[in-house]
Amino acid sequence: MQYTQRMKEWLLFDEETKQELLKITDEKELEDRFYKDLQFGTGGLRGIMGAGPNRMNKYTVGKATLGLANYLLENFSGEKRVVIAYDSRNHSSEFAKDAAQVLAAKGITVYLFTQIMPTPVLSFSVKHLQCTAGIVITASHNPKEYNGYKVYDQNGCQLVPKYADQVIAYINRITDVRAVPRLDFEVAKCSGLVQEVGEEVLEAFLAAVRTQSLYSAPSDLKVVYTPLHGTGNIPVRRILSAYDVSVVSAQELPDGNFSTVRSPNPEEKDALTLAIEQARQAQADLVLGTDPDCDRVGIAVRHKDDYVLMSGNQVGALLVDFALRFKKDTVNEKSTLVKTIVTNDLGAQIGRKYGLQVVETLTGFKYIGDCINRYEQGGNNEFVIGYEESYGYLVGTHARDKDAVVASMLICEAAAYHKAHGKTLVDALTELYREYGFYRDALDSFTLKGKDGAERIRDIMSAFRTAGISAFPQVAQVIDYAEGIGNLPKENVLKFVFESGSWLAIRPSGTEPKLKVYYSVRGKNEAEADADLEALRENIRKTLGE
């Protein structure tokens, strides 16, 4: 159907939708809203908020929820229960309430959080409340214009492709988004189909996190923390109660506009600007910043009177080293570290030294969570730690998703441990580099919006596939994950491994209109690694015409 015809239909939906659409004069904007439906993928829904089928709104949320409800009713026996959480983004609470009304209309019991809550708490609460599934309304670290809708299985793991595909099939059967049933919210509460939960579940989650503590010696560690206007404020401060923690007051309270930052993403260095300024004044040892749904954490470390930002690869390696210093006596032939294919190999090297198995998964923490599920069922592996380069870490099996609460606790414990030995986390990382080789990593994102952008991304990936081993100088191997590698699901990722052992990987983002290029360079020293990395990045920029 032409996008103009679809828009005419949406003009009849309701007055608010009609007025929003009539104010738009940019034809490209209208085309982007209507040329396709917002895709429900393995990460659920994620998109810009607004009217239209390619946007996050009550109609797209309702359609996804009805599809999920039908999937649960036809594939699970007994009483069906779903727990719903939401973050601080604009419209998150409304989308959560709307999803609850759709599920209640289908006779499914809903546990709805009464306050904003981190994604890892939602993951934990699925099993804690013995639910059939979970939903969290969040767009994680995306800009303020975005929101999203993630679905979790009965173990608290995001749906992996084989299950997501089944849910998608049910969603695609729904053709009239206006006909989605909703039970009045107050009626649903009175009937018990919607039950509100909150503090008691959070306390159970924090108790589970505390069992992962490794170092509890008294410490004078000073920490500055920012929740970046998100859900981490209460749980992170509670879990760090043993330390001297001050919060960035301007970023403490929920704010769906994230008014003090360009983007609420701790991967971006300017997200921690205010926190670092406060740390300088307080002479704090450590800066922590969590994203809106508190599943990612970024850090800066005071070192030689300056503050050094650390990457996800670096923090992950430090956590592996720290955890195994204390867990080495419990390591056995089943002990396993899980990382993604775009995460560097430093943490894996450390894990192998301690006797851990190392397993690689596709990009996305759902695959790490799925490993935990399979390990518990099969018994051939025991999960010790999992992490990805995009600032996501998990120790313990209380959640099946990355958890910035447990990560914040262990990062502070690692900093306190090394401080007691006269070192900073930067010193500790330098020692790891001396032992295992110097790593330099980077990520470049190329934004390509709209229908034209999506087509260009497809063309770029196709061109790299066609070029193969000749795409770059000195390529030793090309790994095309779209062909299916080992037992991994097929994924649109290309990895070029160079003769030096360095590599770069290229993939379209699953959550934003971006092409992502990951680089991992290992050199004899910092200067060599820096030079090799810059040469690779320049090659990519020239290839893409940037």
* Structure-token match 């000749």, residue found: 470
Q: HEC states along 39-92? A: CCECCEEEEEECCCCCCECHHHHHHHHHHHHHHHHHHCCCCCEEEEEECCCCCH
Distance CA 139, CA 331 (A): 36
Q: Which among 279, 288, 249 is positioned nearest to 410, based on CA atoms?
A: 288
Active-site option among 93, 140, 219, 520: 140
CA distances from 262 to 125, 250, 265, 268, 271 (A): 32, 14, 9, 9, 7
**Known catalytic membership, residue 509:** no
Q: Which among 411, 392, 401, 407 is positioned nearest to 121, based on CA atoms?
A: 401
* Residues 166 and 185: beta-carbon distance below 8 Å: no
- Sheet-wide strand order for 244-247: 244-247, 222-226, 286-290, 297-303, 306-310
Angle formed at CA 501 by CA 496 and CA 505, multiple of 5 degrees: 25
* Residues 404 and 290: beta-carbon distance below 8 Å: yes
Distance CA 113, CA 182 (A): 19
* Residue 144: exposure state from Cβ atoms within 10 A (0-12, 13-18, ≥19): buried
* Residue 486: exposure state from Cβ atoms within 10 A (0-12, 13-18, ≥19): exposed
Distance CA 208, CA 398 (A): 6
Q: Would you name the residues annotated as active-site residues?
A: 140
